[in-house]
Amino acid sequence: MPVLYAGGVRFLFVLLAGLLMATVAHAGDLTVSVRDADGRPMTDAVVTVTPAAGAPRGPIRFPWPLRVAQQNIQFDPYVLIVPVGGTVSFPNLDRVRHQVYSFSRGNRFELPLYTRGDAPTHTFATAGVAALGCNIHDDMLAWIKVVDTPWAAKTDASGTAVLRGIPAGAATLRVWHPRLAGRGNEVAQTVTLTAAAMRQTVTGDFTGRAAAR
């Protein structure tokens, strides 16, 4: 059986450390700022990045809860990012009943009328958009963006989203918002990412009608 002497152990340690540093060095962070035509920040825009080599295989998990509550006769949150295959709960926190549905292509579903305290679920199997409505309250509206990449984030009140640990190289950057003018309420551009932290600004026309249910 081979024996590693002190020098050999030291060499192996340096080699492994170098490989680890090389792996880390090839992943960087991207900060995206989304603005309307007048330069105002846009909140609730979904920003995704898909490397040219494709997204890694395996289940995608996000740190936020896969949950859309009904509270004060509104959906909360207004926009939720969900990975393909993710199961979303729809808890009713109101004192009235709700009946949640989506007629969006590829993401059609309907939850039977249910009362306060109930939290039915639905699994989203197709990348795309699910526009949510309530058969009882027509003013209730929200969106679920189902994505097939782990690099996804929603802009905050400052119009900023940060995506971390993206492999360096060519990639497609997409921005989606229910009021963004354009096909599928989305714009896309090719970017070349590096190991260094990068910033990108995306400007669009957000005066369009909200995406149809």
Residue 109 shares a structural domain with residue 132: yes
pLDDT grade for 16, boundaries at 50, 70 and 90: very low
CA distance 169 to 146: 24
> Dihedral angle at the C-alpha atoms of 176, 182, 86, 143, nearest 10 degrees?
80
Q: How many CB atoms lie within 10 A of CB 6?
A: 7
Following DSSP, what letter does each residue of 114-181 receive, concatenated? Answer: B-TT---EEEE-SSEEEEEEESS-TT-EEEEEEESSS-EEE--TTSEEEEEEEESEEEEEEEE-TT--
Q: Residue 94's domain is classified under what CATH number?
A: 2.60.40.420
Residue 83 shares a structural domain with residue 141: yes
Residue 88 shares a structural domain with residue 143: yes
- Residue 72 covered by a domain: no
- Has residue 144 got a pLDDT over 60? yes
pLDDT grade for 209, boundaries at 50, 70 and 90: confident
Number of domains in the chain: 2
Q: Residue 33's domain is classified under what CATH number?
A: 2.60.40.10
pLDDT in tens, 55-97: 898 999 999 999 999 999 999 999 999 999 999 999 999 999 9
Type of residue numbered 31: T
Residue 194 shares a structural domain with residue 138: no
- Residue 81 covered by a domain: yes
DSSP state of 107: -
Residue 211 shares a structural domain with residue 162: yes
Mean pLDDT computed over 98-118:
96
pLDDT in tens, 126-141: 999 999 999 999 999 9
User: What local confidence, expressed as pLDDT, does residue 151 receive?
Assistant: 98
pLDDT in tens, 184-200: 999 999 999 998 999 99
> What kind and span of H or E run contains 29?
strand 27-36
User: What local confidence, expressed as pLDDT, does residue 212 receive?
Assistant: 54
CB contact at 8 A, 179 and 206: yes
Omega before 51 cis (within 30°)?
Answer: no
